[in-house]
């Protein structure tokens, strides 16, 4: 059975070009870039090239890029550096819909005595800008807001937020892990101080990430050790993966137009196809301002895990905001923060596409998913009730 | 991905007895939309008072649907007294086991059965009594007590896996622990009696607590602490070593030193730091 992979916000396949670029560093070119001989020295040049490619994708300078082991490490490094470099401040701010990489760290810091403001979102997942303005303080050390939401794809107005924070002299970190490579970014135009990205969300392997730190930003390393990354992140470089990330960023730059045209058109086709065929279904989040590859659709009166496992029978790989898939008992904090009603939060499915998806694959989903929803609804006591009462 | 047995997958993909019985003798409804799963069970009795027809409707995950389907197969042909004996563990066993976190699906089946039988016999369900312990999922002390006893549960986590209680905000964890302790025959620890300390006793106890409890812990991180003065309930200390000037020193002072002293000496103490 063919696999129809539409879970690219979870992880992506490694691009063949990326794999090819990496292999020499897993075979013959195994030198440690810190060593003195030329056998190892040539490796260092490849690291510089990779750093340049990552910087280019963000329109940043190579010395502003620090390689890390993953997106979570990038987020942790940025947030901890910001508070460590401003010991006199007590307040930090984030949103209620962040990824656990940020959310759980903020909750941890709150337990340690930091005062935390969580900016709410509206029913469309849009940031409450009034709350954001009103809760900034003299002693705000850091604001951390995601660029794009991993579940809904909704984009936060990062440029506007950055402008205000720059004016007030408050550090701004953005978790851009879902956004990098999917939408254009320009660090010369958008005044973020730190930005986290992850390799495996843009067709590089797992286990590599990067942190952009604007020149002049006060910084303290999270992993302290050797002189690597100019003393900003100790540990021998993950050479093959860094080279892979560099290549992936190069490709992402080249594919941006395709992502925002062909991939977006596929996403729209899938979304419209499903909404036309399935009654009582709706898109979660602001459809007019979101990533080109993501759609989150709530199917009322059915449960997400059951949908996923039935789709699995047709080789379709997606994910769900339901409680049952994660082992937790409550539906996703993102959908709850948006006030998505329980009737559809439990049955919300996220489809996230990539340039490797095709039109046939969308047809495959549009063919097989509606009968699955219908079947589960036949089984659902709530759907029967709703139908009797005339709501369905 | 959940590690479901082939039998769970089979009952999920081809559930038996889905539907409604309009003139059912017994109907049992459990769960809610907010909780993420719900089951309505219907059955009819034949002339010999045996369950002859069973149907169900389930909103929920794969294991909820499979558990419901399994239940209908298990009770077909049984008398009410025989059906009453079915436990949630037997439903799970019928399916070749369920992941620990999904045991609540089998409990839901057992509860629906109990309700349907009670409905058929025209009596109220005793589980409705009791007080709600877990507000998030509306679980009562009786339900928790029952499942702890039936399935010999030992931890709060077990209780959450079986009946969801404690899986939301977590505010009921102490209450759940108390129920577990009660069922397992453990006596709850009696609350410590506050006795009035003399000034000398208080200062000695503070000094002792700092030396025995607090200093060794701060030293682990290269810090140190010195008792400067005790004036009524105000304790003045000096943080030294790496604690001095540490950005988290206020946190250390309030969240650790003050908390420890309040816990081990007396609750009204306030700890403050003198400048270097």
Q: Is A378 on the interface with B (CB under 8 A)?
A: yes
Q: Are B230 and A91 in contact (CB under 8 A)?
A: no
Question: Across the interface, do B248 and A310 touch by the CB < 8 Å criterion?
Answer: no
pLDDT tens for each residue of B93-116: 999 999 988 999 999 999 999 999
In degrees and rounded to multiples of 5, residue A312 shows phi and psi of -55, -30
- A145-159, A353-367, B132-146: segment of lowest average pLDDT: B132-146
Asked if B35 is an active-site residue, the reply is yes
Quote the pLDDT of residue B128: 55
CATH number at residue B85: 3.90.1010.10
Q: Where does A145-301 show beta strands of DSSP type E?
A: 171-175, 194-198, 209-213, 281-283, 294-299
Cβ neighbours of A329 in B, within 8 Å = 35-36, 136-137, 160, 164, 167-168
Cβ neighbours of B69 in A, within 8 Å = none
- pLDDT band at A82, cuts 50/70/90? very high
Q: Rounded mean pLDDT of A206-224?
A: 96
A232 contacts: CB under 8 Å, gap ≥ 6: A66, A213, A219, A221
* Whether residue B221 sits in one domain with residue B156: no
- pLDDT band at A214, cuts 50/70/90? very high
* Whether residue B113 sits in one domain with residue B2: yes
* Whether residue B109 sits in one domain with residue B13: yes
Quote the pLDDT of residue A255: 97
Is pLDDT at A280 greater than 90 in this prediction? Answer: yes
* Whether residue B185 sits in one domain with residue B235: no
Q: In what order do the strands lie in the sheet with B37-45?
A: B26-32, B37-45, B51-59
Q: What structural domains and CATH numbers belong to chain A?
A: 4-10+256-388 (3.90.1150.10), 16-252 (3.40.640.10)
Query: Which residues make beta-bridge pairs with A94?
Result: A118, A144
Q: Which of B91, B125, B159 is the last residue of a domain?
A: B125
Quote the pLDDT of residue A327: 58
CB atoms within 10 A of CB B157: 15
- pLDDT band at B273, cuts 50/70/90? confident
B138 class by beta-carbon count within 10 Å (0-12 exposed, 13-18 middle, 19+ buried): middle
* Whether residue B64 sits in one domain with residue B36: yes
* Whether residue B93 sits in one domain with residue B23: yes
- pLDDT band at A83, cuts 50/70/90? very high
Q: Is A309 on the interface with B (CB under 8 A)?
A: yes
- Residue in A with minimal Cα distance to B254: A113
Q: Is A143 helix (H, G, I), strand (E, B) or coil?
A: strand
- pLDDT band at A1, cuts 50/70/90? confident
Q: Is A303 on the interface with B (CB under 8 A)?
A: yes
Q: Is A386 on the interface with B (CB under 8 A)?
A: no
Q: Rounded mean pLDDT of A45-71?
A: 98
d(CA B7, nearest CA chain A) in Å:
14
User: Known catalytic residues of A?
Assistant: 324
- A35-44, A58-67, A322-331, B31-40: segment of lowest average pLDDT: A322-331
Q: In what order do the strands lie in the sheet with A348-352?
A: A281-283, A294-299, A348-352, A319-320
* Whether residue B206 sits in one domain with residue B89: no
CATH number at residue B149: 1.10.10.1100
* Whether residue B36 sits in one domain with residue B14: yes
- pLDDT band at B139, cuts 50/70/90? confident
Is pLDDT at B2 greater than 80 in this prediction? Answer: no
Which residue among B35, B57, B247 sits closest to A384, beta carbon to beta carbon?
Answer: B57
Is pLDDT at B58 greater than 90 in this prediction? Answer: yes
CB atoms within 10 A of CB A358: 12
pLDDT tens for each residue of A151-205: 999 999 999 999 999 999 999 999 999 999 999 999 999 999 999 999 999 999 9
CA angle A344/A151/A332 to nearest 5° reads 55
Is pLDDT at B127 greater than 60 in this prediction? Answer: no
Quote the pLDDT of residue A282: 97
Q: Are B2 and B63 in contact (CB under 8 A)?
A: yes
Quote the pLDDT of residue A392: 67
Q: Are A53 and A191 in contact (CB under 8 A)?
A: no
Q: Which of B110, B125, B140 is the last residue of a domain?
A: B125
pLDDT tens for each residue of B15-28: 999 999 999 999 99
* Whether residue B257 sits in one domain with residue B164: no
Rounded to two decimals, what is the model's pTM? Answer: 0.81
Quote the pLDDT of residue A12: 97
Encoded tokens for A157: 């107005």
Q: Report d(CA A346, CA B36) in Å as an integer.
A: 6
* Whether residue B99 sits in one domain with residue B208: no
How many interface pairs between A and B have CB atoms less than 8 angstroms apart?
A: 88
pLDDT tens for each residue of A298-344: 999 999 999 999 999 999 999 997 666 565 667 889 999 999 998 88
CB atoms within 10 A of CB B129: 10
pLDDT tens for each residue of A226-255: 999 999 999 999 999 999 999 999 999 999
pLDDT tens for each residue of B39-56: 999 999 999 999 999 999
Query: Which residues make beta-bridge pairs with B88?
Result: none
- pLDDT band at B233, cuts 50/70/90? confident
- pLDDT band at B143, cuts 50/70/90? confident
Q: Is B221 on the interface with A (CB under 8 A)?
A: no
* Whether residue B133 sits in one domain with residue B76: no
Quote the pLDDT of residue B201: 82
CATH number at residue B246: 3.30.300.130
Q: Report d(CA A10, CA B266) in Å as an integer.
A: 51
* Whether residue B153 sits in one domain with residue B97: no
Is pLDDT at A44 greater than 70 in this prediction? Answer: yes
Q: Which of B190, B208, B235 is the last residue of a domain?
A: B190
- pLDDT band at B124, cuts 50/70/90? confident
- Residue in B with minimal Cα distance to A382: B59
- A11-25, A168-182, B173-187, B235-249: segment of lowest average pLDDT: B235-249
| Domain housing B116 | 1-125
Is pLDDT at B126 greater than 80 in this prediction? Answer: no
Which residue among B9, B36, B64 sits closest to A331, beta carbon to beta carbon?
Answer: B36
Q: Is A112 on the interface with B (CB under 8 A)?
A: yes
Give the total number of structural domains in chain B.
3
pLDDT tens for each residue of A112-144: 999 999 999 999 999 999 999 999 999 999 999
Q: In what order do the strands lie in the sheet with B270-273?
A: B223-231, B234-241, B270-273
């Amino acid at each position: 059975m063919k696999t129809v992979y539409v879970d690219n916000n979870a992880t992506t396949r490694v691009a063949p070009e990326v794999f090819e670029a990496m292999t020499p560093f897993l075979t013959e070119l195994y030198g440690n870039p810190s060593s003195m001989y030329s056998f190892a020295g040539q490796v260092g040049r490849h690291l510089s090239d990779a750093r340049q490619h990552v910087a280019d994708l963000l329109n940043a300078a190579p010395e502003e890029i620090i390689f890390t082991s993953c997106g979570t490490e990038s987020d942790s490094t940025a947030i901890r550096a910001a508070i460590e470099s401003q010991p006199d401040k007590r307040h930090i701010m984030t949103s209620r819909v962040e990824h656990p990489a940020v959310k759980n760290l903020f909750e941890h810091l709150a337990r340690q005595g930091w005062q935390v403001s969580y900016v709410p979102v509206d029913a469309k997942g849009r940031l409450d800008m009034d709350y954001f303005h009103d809760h900034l303080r003299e002693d705000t050390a850091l604001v951390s807001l995601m660029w794009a939401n991993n579940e809904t794809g909704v984009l936060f107005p990062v440029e506007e937020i950055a402008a205000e924070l720059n004016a007030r002299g408050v550090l701004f970190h953005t978790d851009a892990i879902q956004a990098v490579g999917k939408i254009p970014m320009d660090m010369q135009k958008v005044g973020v101080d730190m930005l986290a990205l992850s390799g495996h969300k843009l067709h590089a392997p797992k286990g590599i990430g990067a942190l952009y730190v604007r020149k002049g930003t006060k910084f303290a390393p999270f992993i302290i050790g050797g002189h690597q990354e100019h003393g900003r992140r100790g540990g021998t470089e993950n050479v093959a993966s860094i080279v892979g990330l560099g290549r992936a960023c190069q490709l992402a730059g080249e594919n941006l137009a395709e992502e925002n045209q062909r991939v977006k058109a596929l996403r729209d086709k899938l979304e419209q196809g499903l909404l036309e065929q399935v009654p009582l279904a709706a898109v979660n989040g602001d459809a007019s301002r979101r990533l080109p590859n993501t759609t989150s659709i709530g199917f009322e009166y059915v449960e997400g895990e059951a949908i996923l496992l039935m789709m699995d029978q047709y080789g379709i790989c997606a994910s769900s905001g339901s409680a049952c898939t994660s082992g937790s008992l409550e539906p996703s904090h993102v959908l709850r923060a948006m006030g998505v009603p329980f009737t559809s939060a439990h049955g919300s499915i996220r489809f996230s596409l990539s340039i490797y998806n095709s039109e046939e694959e969308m047809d495959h989903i549009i063919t097989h998913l509606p009968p699955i929803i219908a079947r589960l609804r036949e089984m659902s006591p709530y759907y029967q009730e709703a139908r009797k009462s005339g709501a369905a | 991905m959940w590690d479901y047995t082939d039998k769970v997958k089979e009952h999920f993909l081809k559930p038996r007895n889905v539907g409604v019985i309009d003139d059912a003798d017994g109907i049992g409804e459990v769960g809610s939309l907010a909780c993420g799963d719900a089951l309505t069970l219907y059955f009819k009795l034949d002339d010999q008072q045996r369950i002859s027809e069973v149907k169900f409707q389930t909103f929920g995950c794969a294991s909820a649907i499979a558990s419901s389907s399994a239940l209908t197969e298990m009770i077909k042909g049984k008398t009410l007294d025989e059906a009453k004996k079915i436990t949630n563990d037997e439903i799970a066993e019928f399916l070749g086991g369920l992941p620990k976190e999904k045991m609540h699906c089998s409990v839901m089946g057992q509860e629906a059965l109990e309700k349907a039988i009670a409905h058929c016999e025209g009596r109220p369900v005793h589980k409705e009594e009791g007080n709600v312990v877990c507000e998030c999922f509306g679980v009562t002390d009786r339900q928790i007590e029952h499942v702890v006893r039936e399935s010999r549960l030992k931890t709060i986590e077990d209780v959450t896996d079986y009946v969801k209680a404690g899986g939301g905000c977590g505010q009921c964890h102490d209450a759940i622990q108390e129920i577990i302790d009660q069922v397992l025959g453990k006596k709850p620890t009696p609350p410590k009696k506050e006795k009035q300390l003399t000034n000398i006793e208080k200062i000695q106890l503070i000094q002792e607590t700092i030396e025995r409890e607090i200093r060794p812990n701060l030293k682990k991180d290269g810090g140190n602490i010195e008792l400067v003065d005790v004036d009524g309930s105000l304790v003045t200390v000096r943080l030294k070593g790496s604690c001095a000037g540490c950005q988290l020193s206020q946190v250390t002072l309030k969240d650790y030193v003050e908390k420890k002293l309040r816990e081990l000496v007396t609750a009204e103490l306030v700890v403050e730091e003198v400048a270097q």
